[in-house]
Amino acid sequence: MPVTLRSLETAVPETVLVQSEVRDVFAGQPGLTRLGQRLVATSFDYSGIETRHTAVEELTLARRSSEPVFFDAGSRTILSPSTKVRNDIFAAEATPLFIESARKALASCPDLSPADITHVVTVSCTGFFNPGPDYKIVRALDLEPSVQRYHLGFMGCYAAFPALRAAKSFCEADPAAVVLVVSAELCTLHVRTSNDPDTIMGSSLFADGAAAAVVTARDVTDTSPSLVLDHFETVLTPVGEESMAWNIGDEGFEMVLGTYVPHIIDDHIVGALEPLLARDASLHGLPYRDVTHWAIHPGGRSILDKVEAKLELTEEQLAPARRVLRNFGNMSSATVMFVLKDIMDAPFDGTDERICSMAFGPGLTVETGLFTKTGSASARVQGDPAAAAVLL
């Protein structure tokens, strides 16, 4: 039996950030230069984002705290809590998202029970605590205490693919294995105000969210659409090590997201795809747009624009990534799983469909995955699948 992603579920915090409102707050911060104000306006207005979610309720204008930590709504001032304060909030607020998305993913597999889970792989780059999210999931879902647990930490936006690749390897080694892969990121914990273009860019893009998948090679009776995990590949571009990075500072984690990143992707995306597509003879020599679906990590609007133009894809093929970016922003490692869910939940006539997926992260690292959407004909979600799939 092939290794299959049986279910894919997502969760986001309740607090919604409206992009235009957040832009105005950032543009009005004391110490911001005229150039900084222009960079804020440009970054926020051309991000392709309308709304994002945050686990920090205090970040909205609608909520006022007598002892503000992140944002003083009265003075509209963004504050600078320590890394410890931010990480303590990560431990408190990320845990429910890890657990909720994991519970939903398991519940979406009616033929599986908590006792069937053999491995848990958790992913995050926005905080640390121990016993960690892998432990919290085992306890909250009443999984067997013998479950093998792994955590992939601080890898960045591409980390969902190493997690899925590990799940595939576990299932190939043990056909009875059932792996729960869970990613949760609270990027807004590390929001800061600055005149630095990288900091401004990160503040305009990053958001909070979680996604969980059940992966197994077991025979199943459920015929709902699922994703066969065909192949994964990793490529390091020859340049870009200084253009995308994620460092720990005294006042939160510091994102380096150079404006040259879209150009690096534009120059090297074709080469990064070659090892993946070479794994399948049926795809050799085909135009990229002949692959039905493209699940691209929406690191930003300019990255999606470069991918669409370079690979000569259609607007429809980039629509899932743009929907996720518009409604949820960049949630680091969880984001590409939101895009895959959009594709997985789209109406389906039962004919196998190929999906090529890519995510980008520090290094510059390009992770790619090839999937096959399979199962019986269905229309699991009506209307906009991204909107219907992610709310708690």
Catalytic residues, by residue number, are: 157
Whole-angstrom distance, CA of residue 300 vs CA of residue 315: 16
Phi-psi region of 312 (alpha: psi -120 to 50; beta: other; left: phi over 0): left
CB 227 within 8 A of CB 215: no
Whole-angstrom distance, CA of residue 221 vs CA of residue 167: 21
CB 246 within 8 A of CB 125: yes
What contacts 377, CB < 8 A, 6 or more positions away?
348, 349, 350
Q: Which residues of the chain form beta strands (DSSP E)?
A: 4-11, 15-18, 51-54, 71-72, 77-78, 119-124, 148-153, 178-186, 208-216, 226-236, 244-249, 252-257, 293-296, 353-361, 365-374
Whole-angstrom distance, CA of residue 190 vs CA of residue 251: 8
